[in-house]
Amino acid sequence: MSGNRRQGRKLWRDITLFDGLETLPEPMAVIVEGERIAHISTMAGVDEAAAAGCEEMGSGGVMTPGLVDCHTHLVFGGSRADEFEKRLEGVSYEEIARTGGGILSTVNATRAASESELFDAARPRLEALMRDGVTTVEIKSGYGLTVEDELKMLRVARRLGAALPVRVITTLLGAHALPPEFKDDSNGYIDLVCHEMIPAAAEQGLADAVDVFCERIAFSVAQCERVFEAAKAHGLPIKAHAEQLSNLGGSAMAARHGALSADHIEYLDEAGVAAMREAGSVAVLLPGAFHTLRETQLPPIEALRAAGVPMAVATDANPGSSPIFNPTLMLNFACTLFRLTPREALAGMTAHGARALGLSNEGQRLGRIEAGAPADLCLWNADTPAALAYAVQPGRLRQRVVNGVVTHG
């Protein structure tokens, strides 16, 4: 993460504040000091002594925590516009994958690309997320599928975080698809992931977490479990793409291993919901993939809600199942497609998104607006927080603050 503007004491007045979980009932004032949120008060309660000497940042508008996009595949080579057309003609995502297209077509293009080509292609995608309020983004590997190509992707993700004012969390997704050179030897490929990829990524400090794709077109529950054991042996937190196309029980297994999150989960059953509740795993909802694949099976929102499983919302930005680089559109999709309330959708892209990345604990405190937390904030031209989910309207971001530094506006 790099910043470029002066830090100091900054004051916003008369704002409608969504703190990551709730909208506060009256207009508020917020003071940021250096990298942290220093004071939050009602307008009537502003301590004018504390306000003296602050830079006045303006008044009015809606303030939210900086958006946390907790699931993306932003680094990739090539395009899948041809596959989009095939799907429009009626060929399914699964059929395309089984015939060597889909993820594997992106693998070919990603292997062929240099690190700087991948960086240059990913940068505008990330900038699009930032212009729509993202201050923390997770970026997965998973289109390299050799040790060197997976590390290359993770290095690109780290470089993006160093070059731009955004927090980048990297996730090793070696177990995303079976590469052609391991055709008929999926266990051999899982050996490579466990014995070479994970140790190398961990030693080089390139991965903050490890993910798997648990699905009949990818890896079995038992294979994913081996990956989790290797990740845990290297001290890395885990998460899973699970129950996206079928119900294999991957989410429950991931939860039993203490996963930060299970993602997609359209086919999650009651037992899976219970396992996630028990483990405190976050349910990451990806309405962009649901929309793009014209899925009809809805994730079990009511059961997750009733169980109190925190629900995050993310873009899943990737070249195949969700070529959508627009986080606030996902707030709208989460409401219209999954029937989340606007409050739930916003919490999903702030407090619960941070939790899905392990960034909501006492040490990190991202995704919330509270005294002492890092000052990652967005100020929006909107009347109410719900309006951010209601209207699909790019360009509403008035200011974006990362670690106390204004990086937009």
C-alpha dihedral over 346, 351, 352, 355, to 10 degrees? 160
| H or E element, residue 38 | strand 36-42
* 3-state secondary structure at position 142: coil
Question: What binding mask, one character per residue, do residues 169-208 give for ligand NIG by CB under 6 A, x or -?
Answer: ----------------------------------------
Q: Max alpha carbon distance in the chain (Å)?
A: 71
**Residue 169: both structure tokens together:** 């969390």
- Beta-carbon contacts of 25 under 8 Å, excluding residues fewer than 6 positions away, are none
Of the listed pieces 13-21, 91-99, 228-236, 313-321, which binds Fe ion according to CB under 5 A? 313-321
* 3-state secondary structure at position 63: strand
- Say if CB 46 and CB 29 are below 8 A apart: yes
The footprint of ligand NIG on this chain (CB under 6 A) covers a number of residues equal to: 13
Task: Tell whether residue 176 is among the known ligand binding residues.
Answer: yes
The smaller minimum CB distance to ligand NIG, of residues 291 and 408, is found at 291
Report, in Å, the least distance between residue 81 CB and ligand NIG: 13
Q: Which of 15, 160, 289, 405 binds ligand NIG (CB under 6 A)?
A: 289
Does position 320 interact with ligand NIG (CB under 6 A)? The reply is yes
* 3-state secondary structure at position 209: strand
Does position 321 interact with ligand NIG (CB under 6 A)? The reply is yes
Residue 20's binding partner out of Fe ion, ligand NIG, none, with CB under 5 to 8 Å set by partner kind? none
Of the listed pieces 154-162, 178-186, 311-319, 397-405, which binds ligand NIG according to CB under 6 A? 311-319
Report, in Å, the least distance between residue 327 CB and Fe ion: 15
* 3-state secondary structure at position 398: strand
Report, in Å, the least distance between residue 71 CB and ligand NIG: 7
Task: Tell whether residue 360 is among the known ligand binding residues.
Answer: no
Does position 239 interact with ligand NIG (CB under 6 A)? The reply is no
Task: Tell whether residue 244 is among the known ligand binding residues.
Answer: yes
Q: Which of 215, 316, 344, 376 binds Fe ion (CB under 5 A)?
A: 316
Nearest one of 61, 138, 28, 45 to 369, comparing CA atoms = 28
* 3-state secondary structure at position 261: strand
Does position 295 interact with Fe ion (CB under 5 A)? The reply is no
CB count in 10 Å sphere of residue 261: 33
Of the listed pieces 23-31, 314-322, 346-354, 368-376, which binds ligand NIG according to CB under 6 A? 314-322
Nearest one of 210, 227, 316, 225 to 263, comparing CA atoms = 316
Task: Tell whether residue 318 is among the known ligand binding residues.
Answer: yes
CA angle 84, 137, 62 (to 5 degrees): 105
- Please list every residue from 99 through 118 that binds ligand NIG, using CB under 6 A: 102-103, 106
**Among all residues, whose Cβ is closest to Fe ion?**
316
Nearest one of 340, 266, 265, 337 to 297, comparing CA atoms = 266
The footprint of Fe ion on this chain (CB under 5 A) covers a number of residues equal to: 1
Q: How far is CA 93 from CA 104, 180, 323, in A?
A: 12, 18, 14
Does position 150 interact with Fe ion (CB under 5 A)? The reply is no
Residues 192 and 286: their CA atoms lie apart, in Å, by 29
Residue 189's binding partner out of ligand NIG, Fe ion, none, with CB under 5 to 8 Å set by partner kind? none
Does position 261 interact with ligand NIG (CB under 6 A)? The reply is no
The smaller minimum CB distance to ligand NIG, of residues 261 and 318, is found at 318
**Residue 123: both structure tokens together:** 């940068």
Q: How far is CA 291 from CA 13, 58, 152, 329, in A?
A: 39, 38, 30, 11
Helix then strand count (H, E) for the chain reads: 17, 16
- Say if CB 351 and CB 368 are below 8 A apart: yes
Does position 327 interact with ligand NIG (CB under 6 A)? The reply is no
- Please list every residue from 54 through 93 that binds ligand NIG, using CB under 6 A: 73
Q: Which of 165, 237, 287, 319 binds ligand NIG (CB under 6 A)?
A: 319
Q: How far is CA 336 from CA 107, 168, 339, in A?
A: 33, 29, 6
Does position 213 interact with ligand NIG (CB under 6 A)? The reply is yes
The smaller minimum CB distance to ligand NIG, of residues 318 and 399, is found at 318
Does position 241 interact with ligand NIG (CB under 6 A)? The reply is yes
Which residue numbers belong to the known binding site for Zn(2+)? 71, 73, 241, 316
Which residues bind to Fe ion, rule: CB under 5 A? 316
| Known binding-site residue numbers for 4-imidazolone-5-propanoate | 80, 143, 176, 244, 321
Residues interacting with ligand NIG, by CB under 6 A?
73, 102-103, 106, 213, 241, 244, 289, 316, 318-321
